[in-house]
Structure 1
Amino acid sequence: MADTITLIDHDEIRDWAAARAGQPAISDPAPGMEQSQPVLRFVFGQHSYQDTDEGPDRPGGVTIIEWDEWFQMFDERELALVVQEDVPGQRDEFHELIRRADAS
């Protein structure tokens, strides 16, 4: 497994997602979770190009949102994005959102 890097910079996060055809999204918390806030996510591939004029924008139970809204929640919750370092010829979608205080 490749090494991971931690991203906080908005432009770096946006570039990482764009390289993987990713769009910012949210989903409802899982039933029974203490968290009542939407869960930040990314939608990759074909779902990220969903035409919201033609139907719902909730592929797989997620809502695609604007980057400004996603980053507002990202910063308010003091999160960081952990991703794998790029390996030539591969575009891994592995990612994890963690608290910035937990980033080493």
Structure 2
Amino acid sequence: MSLILTEPADIRTWAEARSGQPAMAELPSGSRTKVILQIAFDQYLLNSGEAQDQDRPGGLDLVSWDEWIAELKKQNLGLRVPDDIPGSLDNTYEFVSLADNPMD
């Protein structure tokens, strides 16, 4: 089973319990820019320091939770996560459109 997280505090608590941090990438899409949201976990954080090329197109940038949540709301997305299993912290997630998955 899984559940869809929509409340900012729930999303942040879930991610931080798994050492996740908010990240975004901006990708060119025609004459516009598309913003891609991600949650970066342990290994990515180790590789995201200043030694890495921060100017490469499509590269992930760590951002504040406020900025990340604002973009999540702008895109009308929720976070589908697996039910918690005692003794395990699964960091699998996917974004889901809240327009396609009404919470009523």
TM-score computed with the length of structure 1 as normaliser: 0.78
In structure 2, relative to structure 1, the CA distance for the partners of 1:32 and 1:51 (3 Å cut) is closer
CA displacement 1:41-99 (0-9 Å, x = unmatched): 010014336785x54585x9311000010011011111111000110111111101111
Count of matched residue pairs: 98
Separation of aligned partners in 2, 1:98 and 1:5: 11
Task: Give 1 or 2: higher strand fraction.
Answer: 2
Q: Kindly indicate whether residue 100 of structure 2 is the aligned counterpart of residue 102 of structure 1.
A: yes
TM-score (norm 2): 0.78
* Alignment CA distance shift 1:32-1:75 (3 Å): closer
Q: Cα–Cα, structure 1 residues 99 and 57, in superposed 2: closer, same or farther, change >3 Å?
A: farther
CA distance in 2, matches of 1:41, 1:103: 20
Distance 1:86 1:75 in 2: 24
Name segments (4+ residues, structure 1) moved above 2 Å: 46-52, 54-58
- More helix per residue: 1
Task: Quote the sequence identity (%).
Answer: 34
- Calculate the aligned-residue CA RMSD, in Å: 2.6
In the alignment, what sits opposite 2:41?
44
- Gaps in structure 2 of 5+ consecutive residues: none
